[in-house]
Structure 1
Amino acid sequence: MPRFHVDTLLAAPGEITLPPGAARHVQVLRLQPGDALTLFDGSGPEWQAEVTAMGRSEVRVNLIAAVQPQRELARAVTLAVVMPANDRMDFLVEKATELGAAALQPLVAERSVLRLAGERADKKRSHWQGVAIAAAEQSGRTVPLRVEPVMQLPAWLAALPDAADDEWRGLLSPHAAQPLAPFPQQRALFLSGPEGGLSDAEEDAARARGFAAISLGPRILRADTAPLAVLSWLALA
């Protein structure tokens, strides 16, 4: 069954006009009145719906019933990632959404290849949020991954509040001896470096903010592989 995200609140059963983005998807698929589809607005539930009218500029659907599927990870996981170069960030956002991450914080560090700021950073964030929404449509998630504004690593660490009792913080480091192991906290924040890794000073600054350095094994993983390995482990733990 076709499944689409809508950027407007779905509040109650009844007929609505689809916003332009979702309407275009319906038109491209050439759905007809009477065809079934699933809609979600990112707040949690998803709606079973039926096309009632198709026009060149307007698509109307009837919202029939809301359901609350359980497809999220048991923990709320945020990935703080020094952005990899080229198209690897798109891949990372897509797969992190599929694997259940709640949020992704793009960062710039000393050894960053991709450096974004100002309007360019805002445009990239908007693009990545679109990638996350598309991945949520495909994977069945009802709450797409949230992409935060791009920040410099030192500023982000300085603004980070002290870790609460229900949050665990992990620093993915090739220098760490302690492997990733089960933890009881219901929220998790993982910091992952760029190609070339974080500098010693950056790792020290992260430890000072409550991050425990952890190893993902003897091999050096790419900047877009390491955080996804953690998510895969959490999804199966």
Structure 2
Amino acid sequence: MRIPRIFTRQALVSNSTLSLAEPQSHYLSKVLRMQAGRELILFNGEGGEYTAEISAVHKKHVDVSVKKFTPENRQSHLQLELAIGVSRGERMDWVLQKATELGVTKITPLMTERTEVKLGGERADKKMEHWQQIIISACEQSQRNLLPELAEPQEYSEWIKQCDAELKFVLHHRDSKKLPQEQTPKSVALLIGPEGGLDEDEIAQAITNGFSPLTLGPRVLRTETAPVAAISLVQYLWGDF
């Protein structure tokens, strides 16, 4: 029987008891219909994970006994940032989910010339909260214990000036350069546009700021496909694949 992995923002200490917050309690008791005695794995993003057991199920909360700590994080040694133009609908959700599963360290949503999603004020706060929950769910599923950092949405022109990764690539399907396999970087940044890609001025601006153009074969990939392909290649060459 599968043991659920649950993220909590609460402090975790071996050989202690705690009452889980309402969202986690509801998921365990109402969605999974788990009862006292069932095993769990808890993590809070501070590193490692804890085995636990449900001790009591109440109407509005679930009590758990926290047991053994395991320091495993399943974290790639490569610091990998994905900076991607914000896309519409579920495309961005899908990118965040798969990038988390594939081991990125940081995700930065970018507002580019062709970005059609408008973020600001309360809408931006709700979107960030939604994206953060997608990342948490992906960590629960993929057994990551350290959440990738989700940066606040930034203007494209500002981010490329600040990016200080050892190797920086901008995906450009009209170029022919591939990844330099002979190098062994400690940090990599991947820059990918929204639907329609980055425009020519943005690509030129990236190259001026030290980014190398990168192509992923002769076919044009969608904005939600390109990150999966690029991250997989980078993790294979320099990460933990």
Tell me the residue number matched to 1:16: 18
1:177 shift after superposition: 2.0
Query: Equivalent of 2:39, from 36, 57, 66?
Result: 36
RMSD (CA atoms): 1.7
1:133 has 2:133 as partner: no
Distance 1:67 1:40 in 2: 10
Contiguous gaps of at least 5 residues in structure 1: none
Distance 1:177 1:209 in 2: 19
Q: Following superposition of structure 1 onto structure 2, how do residues 116-127 of structure 1 map, counting pairs within 5 Å?
A: 116-127=119-130
| 1:137 counterpart SS class | helix
Contiguous gaps of at least 5 residues in structure 2: none
Q: Contact between 2:48 and 2:73, CA under 8 Å: does it hold in 1?
A: no
Query: Letter of the aligned partner of 2:211 in structure 1?
Result: F
Tell me the residue number matched to 1:219: 219
Q: Contact between 2:170 and 2:212, CA under 8 Å: does it hold in 1?
A: yes
Q: Contact between 2:26 and 2:61, CA under 8 Å: does it hold in 1?
A: no
Q: Identical aligned pairs, as a percentage?
A: 34
Distance 2:46 2:230 in 1: 25
Distance 2:50 2:133 in 1: 20
Distance 1:217 1:82 in 2: 21
Q: Give the paired residue count.
A: 233
> Residue by residue, what CA displacement relative to the aligned partner does 1:91-112 show, whole Å, maximum 9, x if unpaired?
1111111111122111111112
| 1:94 counterpart SS class | helix
1:185 has 2:185 as partner: yes
Q: 1:143 to 1:112 in 2, by over 3 A?
A: same
Tell me the residue number matched to 1:100: 103
TM value normalised by structure 1: 0.91
Distance 2:222 2:190 in 1: 15
Query: Letter of the aligned partner of 1:195 in structure 2?
Result: E
Q: Which consecutive segments of 4 or more residues in structure 1 shift more than 4 A?
A: none
Distance 1:221 1:10 in 2: 42
Q: Contact between 2:43 and 2:49, CA under 8 Å: does it hold in 1?
A: yes
Tell me the residue number matched to 2:168: 169
1:219 shift after superposition: 0.7
Distance 2:154 2:87 in 1: 14
Distance 1:120 1:129 in 2: 14
| 2:213 counterpart SS class | strand
Q: Contact between 1:6 and 1:21, CA under 8 Å: does it hold in 2?
A: no
Query: Letter of the aligned partner of 1:178 in structure 2?
Result: K
Tell me the residue number matched to 1:91: 94
Query: Letter of the aligned partner of 2:19 in structure 1?
Result: T
Tell me the residue number matched to 2:203: 203
Distance 1:117 1:175 in 2: 33
| 1:93 counterpart SS class | helix
Distance 1:140 1:211 in 2: 32
| 1:79 counterpart SS class | strand
Q: Following superposition of structure 1 onto structure 2, how do residues 40-119 of structure 1 map, counting pairs within 5 Å?
A: 40-119=43-122
| 1:185 counterpart SS class | coil
1:70 shift after superposition: 4.5
